[in-house]
């Protein structure tokens, strides 16, 4: 009987080591994927060169994975609080990542079509509340999933218009927000709050407000991408759309990888995991790796020294900088 209890205890310990989730996430280099495999512009030109998005893989840690991360190159264990907002569950997190992906695709379409002088129309409906900041006054009146349609009765026409309107207020100003929740319109009141200690930046206390909009183009563009979230492929989406809309092979027959968010004005923004994404790009045989200028570039460079690779790391601040670099290769 005693040996049976010992054996059962060992079995329980092994199962816990293998399967019990811990409050950490493990991240490691993912894949570099040619965007033309899942994104098509109607009647667009697909050329021999490849423009690739790069991902990192992420999973909830178990004791086994946590220990393994300590000995696996380019692998990191981070507290779940680095990814999840206060009170946010994993399903909420996954939904937020999918919304960020959809938003990045829309921004890429808007800018690429404008740059290629192709037809694009945007029907803007408001700003999606990913989540109110815990402890903010907004958390008393806003919920995840709310859509803000007006501030002090004034509608806004784009994400940038929304941000510009918020910036006209000072910390402590009272504002009324017109919102849609569960198919019904409501009006709530809150105070504008400082976003930093200086008080120079103010907001209404919500994380990552995302545009709710329909983007209609001619020619049409379609994405068939699943199980990937986040906004970091925006730069490469923009380059691929622009490439299919315009004559010639922007990649000049090469494999070009990159990462970076993009907005509707073509600005490239910072992302997470640049030091891991360059590993995936190198493994896929990319000759160039675009990365947001600044800390992300330094991250990627640090991994490059460990990889002993010839891949060219190119920092960019805008989509047009990336296009000019590629055109200089042709």
Catalytic, 2? Answer no
Closest by Cα among 85, 237, 263, 261 to 162: 263
How far apart are the C-alpha atoms of 230 and 34, rounded to whole Å? Answer: 17
Number of neighbouring beta carbons within 10 Å of residue 265: 12
How far apart are the C-alpha atoms of 114 and 301, rounded to whole Å? Answer: 32
Q: Strand 119-128 and strand 210-218: pairing?
A: antiparallel
Catalytic residue among 104, 130, 136, 277: 277
The helix or strand, by DSSP H or E, that contains position 194, with its residue range, turns out to be strand 193-194
Contact 254, 275 (CB under 8 A): no
Residue 126's beta-bridge partner residues? 212
Catalytic residue among 69, 136, 232, 303: 232
Contact 66, 75 (CB under 8 A): no
For the record, the structure tokens of 180 come out as 């849609």
Number of neighbouring beta carbons within 10 Å of residue 24: 19
How far apart are the C-alpha atoms of 157 and 150, rounded to whole Å? Answer: 10
CA distances, 316 to each of 124, 174, 180, 192, 203 (Å): 29, 39, 38, 34, 28
Number of neighbouring beta carbons within 10 Å of residue 154: 9
User: From the centroid of its chain, how far is CA 141?
Assistant: 27
Catalytic, 277? Answer yes
Closest by Cα among 83, 36, 35 to 55: 35
Which residues does the annotation mark as catalytic? Answer: 232, 277
């Amino acid at each position: 009987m005693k040996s049976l209890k010992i054996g059962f205890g060992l079995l329980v310990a092994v199962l816990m080591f293998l399967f019990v989730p811990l409050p950490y996430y493990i991240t490691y280099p993912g894949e570099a994927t040619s965007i033309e495999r899942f994104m098509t512009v109607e009647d667009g030109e697909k050329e021999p060169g490849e423009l690739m998005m790069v991902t990192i893989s992420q999973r909830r840690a178990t004791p086994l994975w946590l220990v393994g991360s300590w000995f696996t190159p380019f692998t990191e264990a981070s507290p779940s609080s680095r990814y999840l907002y206060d009170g946010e569950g994993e399903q909420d997190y996954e939904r937020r990542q999918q919304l960020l992906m959809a938003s990045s695709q829309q921004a890429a379409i808007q800018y690429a079509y404008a740059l290629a002088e192709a037809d694009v129309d945007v029907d803007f409906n408001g700003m999606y509340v990913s989540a109110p900041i815990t402890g903010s006054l907004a958390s008393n009146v806003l919920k995840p999933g709310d859509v803000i349609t007006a501030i002090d009765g004034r509608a806004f026409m784009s994400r940038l218009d929304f941000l510009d309107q918020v910036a006209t207020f000072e910390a402590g100003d009272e504002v009324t927000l017109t919102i849609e929740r569960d198919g019904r319109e409501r009006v709530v009141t809150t105070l504008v709050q400082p976003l930093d200690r200086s008080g120079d930046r103010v907001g209404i206390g919500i994380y990552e407000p995302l545009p709710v909009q329909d983007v209609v183009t001619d020619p049409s563009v379609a994405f068939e991408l699943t199980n990937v979230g986040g906004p970091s492929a925006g730069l490469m989406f923009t380059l691929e759309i622009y490439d299919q809309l315009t004559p010639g092979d922007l990649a000049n027959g090469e494999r070009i990888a990159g990462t970076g968010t993009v907005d509707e004005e073509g600005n490239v923004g910072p992302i997470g995991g640049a030091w891991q994404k360059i590993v995936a790009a190198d493994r896929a045989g990319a000759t160039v790796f675009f990365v947001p200028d600044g800390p992300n570039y330094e991250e990627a460079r640090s991994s490059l020294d460990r990889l002993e690779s010839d891949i060219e790391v190119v920092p960019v601040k805008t989509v047009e900088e990336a296009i000019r670099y590629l055109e200089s290769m042709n």
